[in-house]
Amino acid sequence: MNKLPILISVPHAGLTIPPEVGPFNRLTSDQIIADGDEGAREIYAIKELVNEFVTTDIARAFVDMNRKENDFSEDGVVKTDTCWGVPVYKSPLSSTMIKQLLDHYYVPYHTQLTNSAGKDTMLAIDCHTMASSGPPVGPDPGAVRPMVCLSNADGTCPEEWFCLLADCLSAAFGYEVSLNKPFKGGYIIRHHSKEIPWLQLELSRDPSLSIEHKRNAVISALKEWYRTVTKS
């Protein structure tokens, strides 16, 4: 089968502590998992089905690829606290150390996204999982979240493609897809949409659907989206 002309980005599936900050880390393995996109590595394991696939082993708690390079807030590119309010480091990192993290992990990730946006790629999707209810650091603390959220940051993708993929996801999952709520779309899709169309996909970590079910539904939706787009 020909590969789908799609770029998949999975920025928050990693669990690795950068060796540069290992001595300063105070998070447990469970806290690192809780801050990241648990299940994303397995759900979006579709490298063989798409033209381009970009991910990282580095955990979101240490370098967040979906933040601006100069966002040094609590929940910024190099965090001081997890999304659950847990301090990441024993003491603040130096500006030199922060620059090393960005140079070693953040910049290469975004360079790879840019280099993957070739003429054979129609659409890029930044793929995530989300807590089933909003964490303290988030747009919706404590709120129950939908099974599927699709975002276009109000303009990172043609509206027709956006709505079509939402319909395909709804049919595949058997749930109504929430558009731009609770997430409107992060830095990755906003920044890179000047290169090709981008969307952000968030799947709830609610265990009522298995990892395998979610993966198969994503694959089905992407195939149906492409079939419909190329047919029209």
User: What is the arithmetic mean of pLDDT over 12-33?
Assistant: 98
* Average pLDDT of the chain, as a whole number: 97
Q: CA triplet 203, 37, 114: central angle to 5 degrees?
A: 90
Burial of 213 (0-12, 13-18, 19+ CB in 10 A): middle
Quote the pTM value: 0.96
Dist. CA 182–CA 173, nearest whole Å: 18
Domain that holds residue 212: 4-231
Domain count, the chain: 1
Measure Cα distances from 137 to 12, 35, 74, 184 in Å.
16, 10, 9, 15
What is the pLDDT confidence band of residue 232, given thresholds at 50, 70 and 90?
A: low
| 150 alpha-carbon distance from chain centroid | 11
* pLDDT tens-digit series, residues 130-146: 999 999 888 999 999 99
Q: What is the pLDDT of residue 118?
A: 85
- Which of 205, 202, 143, 148 lies closest to 177, judged by CA? 148
The predicted pLDDT at position 31 comes to: 98
Rounded mean pLDDT of 109-114? 98
How confident is the model over 157-183, as pLDDT tens digits? Answer: 999 999 999 999 999 999 999 999 999
User: What pLDDT is recorded for position 131?
Assistant: 95
pLDDT in tens, 187-224: 999 999 999 999 999 999 999 999 999 999 999 999 99
pLDDT of residue 1: 62
Q: What is the 3-state secondary structure (H, E, C) of the chain?
A: CCCEEEEEEECCCECECCHHHHHHECCCHHHHHHHCCCCHHHHCCCHHHEEEEEECCEECCCCCCCCCCCCCCCCCCCCCECCCCCECECCCCCHHHHHHHHHHHHHHHHHHHHHHCCCCCCEEEEEEEECCEECCCCCCECCECCCEEEECCCCCCCHHHHHHHHHHHHHHHCCCCEECCCCCCCHHHHHHCCCCCEEEEEEECCCCCCHHHHHHHHHHHHHHHHHHHHHC
What CATH number does residue 169 fall under?
3.40.630.40
Q: Do residues 18 and 105 lie in contact, with contact meaning Cβ atoms separated by under 8 Å?
A: yes
